[in-house]
Structure 1
Amino acid sequence: MAVIRDTSRRRQEISALVRERGSVQVTTLAERYSVSMQTIRKDLHFLAKKGIAERSYGGAISADAVNVATEPPVESKRAINVEEKARIGAIAAAMVVAGDSVVLDSGTTTLQIAYHLPDDESITVLTNDLDILWALARKERINVVMLGGALRRRNRALYGAQTERALTDLHVDKLFLGIDGFDIERGITTHFEPEAMLNRKMVKAAGQIIAVGDRSKFGKVCLHRILNVEEIHDLVTDAPEADGMQAAAERLGFRLHLA
């Protein structure tokens, strides 16, 4: 009976953890409860059958996080993990060197990259984000190219065929790709289909793909996939406790930079 009670209590606690954090990992849970990884896998399978979680690489994610349909407005995004995004932006900006051409995807984290970029006339930045354009316009020397298109007011960025055509014949050194959803198995995803289409064009134009995002994006899966995680070259994030991320980086071949 003690074993049954321990199992029930552990599963209740794991259920609370996955709802609180959005995702959990097998290795961390096995260490936390001093049980085998096989036992934890059985626990996660039980939670999946109950509709509480869905299995993912090395663990499980909250069922509430899968197919996240509602995109918060940009004003709400700006208020989330402000200090963490600033640190991510500083680290990402330091990856840009003299002579680079880069694309800054739309987003509040990529906006922080714009703030931290050096004002160097040998650096060229392309973007579809009006807030990023404004941040860069206040610098005196950096070269800025605005990708035209139709305005989406929800995130103050431009999309559509015109935006995509602007990238067709271009090659840039680096793409800094913002994250709405990041899951090892389901890839990097976004809420808005035209954004996913534009992001895939950006990926094709870039020599180095650098994903940037704070811890709130991990374990979330939005409707539209941009690319698989193994297609990125670097990930800049603020989550040193992101369970299994270093192991995933080594397995899938991307570099992990922690803010």
Structure 2
Amino acid sequence: METYYSAKERRAQILQLLKSSPKILVSSLSQMFNISEVTIRKDLEELENRNLLIRVRGGAIRLPKLNIAEEQATTEKKRFHYREKRSIGRMAATLIQENETIILDSGSTTMEIAKNLHSFKQLTIITNAIDIAIELSKYKRFNVILLGGHLRDSSLSTVGPIAENTLKIFYCDKLFLGVDSFNLERGVSTPNIEEANINQTMITMVKETIAIFDSSKVNKKSFAFIAPVSKLSAIVTDNNMPLDIKTQIKKMGVKLYETEPDS
């Protein structure tokens, strides 16, 4: 029986292929997915528009590695701006309502939300982060759903088509999105393509997307685009964000919550 791939699944597979091969051909992809070359070209055009590959005659090649907002392991991230992350996590937890279904993205700041849910009796929490799932298991009363998929050692998170397809069966109230880079013009981004893909799927399955990040992430740009700022419902950050950025965020209709870093 033929396997049907949605456009999102197909594009994720194309990016996976580019990891093991420096170049992919339109003709080969057309045969692999049993679709027209015109459709494949549209896929490659979309991926190029998102700065995920470079189109060349007859196909596409992978992007060269860039030193933009280089990815750090979760253990390393925890050492930086910990006071800010701890206060942001506490503030973000106050935006949750009893009985809600929420998604916690992987990351050191979303981990701080997981540590601040003591006042809740019943929540359904979906996460792709193994360390966050372990933290949530300590409450012994929440419905915790850990997404399957390919394990990324650096972030202790699951990514890829399996994780993305599992997400599509849920409809959730809020997503708490950990952000590596925030830019008013270029939106929110992350160093890893697979993380960007699963974050995009998360956004489509929730009523509200709440970005959480410390002010050191402002005016930065990472390798893989996630979403424009207009897709965010709210932002939780510390009180060191530049005034002009705060003004622009509010003008865009995005709620802004600021918190004082722990002493």
Same fold? TM cut 0.5 = yes
After superposition, residues 125-136 of structure 1 pair within 5 angstroms as 125-136=125-136
Distance 1:228 1:118 in 2: 33
Q: Which amino acid aligns with 1:153?
A: D
Change beyond 3 A, Cα 1:126–1:213: same
Structure with max Cα Rg: 1
Q: Secondary structure at the match of 1:244?
A: helix
Q: Which amino acid aligns with 2:247?
A: A
Asked if 1:120 is matched to 2:115, the reply is no
Q: CA deviation at 1:241?
A: 4.2
RMSD, aligned CA = 1.4
Contact 1:200 1:227 in 2 (8 A): yes
Distance 1:237 1:145 in 2: 26
TM-score by length of 1: 0.72
Give a deviation string over 1:137-189, Cα, whole Å, max 9, x none. 11121111101111100111111111000111211000000001100001000
**More deviation, 242-251/218-227:** 242-251
Contact 2:215 2:240 in 1 (8 A): no
**More deviation, 82-91/114-123:** 114-123
Asked if 1:161 is matched to 2:161, the reply is yes
Q: CA deviation at 1:67?
A: 6.6
Q: CA deviation at 1:69?
A: 4.8
TM-score by length of 2: 0.71
Give a deviation string over 1:187-244, Cα, whole Å, max 9, x none. 0000110110100000000101100001111111001110001110100001344231
Q: Which amino acid aligns with 1:247?
A: T
Distance 1:248 1:218 in 2: 13
Q: CA deviation at 1:119?
A: 5.8
Change beyond 3 A, Cα 1:219–1:241: closer
Q: Secondary structure at the match of 1:151?
A: strand
Distance 2:245 2:99 in 1: 31
Contact 2:215 2:241 in 1 (8 A): no
> What residue number does 1:170 align with?
170
Distance 2:253 2:119 in 1: 32
Change beyond 3 A, Cα 1:94–1:154: same
Contact 1:124 1:144 in 2 (8 A): yes
Q: Which amino acid aligns with 2:242?
A: A
> What residue number does 1:229 align with?
229
Greater percentage in helix:
1
Task: Structure 2: state its 5+ residue gaps.
Answer: 1-65
Q: Which amino acid aligns with 2:144?
A: V
Distance 1:181 1:102 in 2: 22
> What residue number does 1:43 align with?
none
Distance 1:69 1:214 in 2: 15
- The number of residue pairs the alignment matches comes to 194
Give a deviation string over 1:98-142, Cα, whole Å, max 9, x none. 110000000000000000013634211000001101110111211
Distance 2:88 2:252 in 1: 21
Asked if 1:90 is matched to 2:103, the reply is no
Distance 1:116 1:252 in 2: 29
Q: Which amino acid aligns with 1:163?
A: A
Q: Which amino acid aligns with 1:243?
A: L
> What residue number does 1:243 align with?
243
Distance 2:118 2:229 in 1: 29
Task: Structure 1: state its 5+ residue gaps.
Answer: 1-65
**Identical positions, percent:** 34
Q: Which amino acid aligns with 1:239?
A: N
Distance 2:132 2:241 in 1: 30
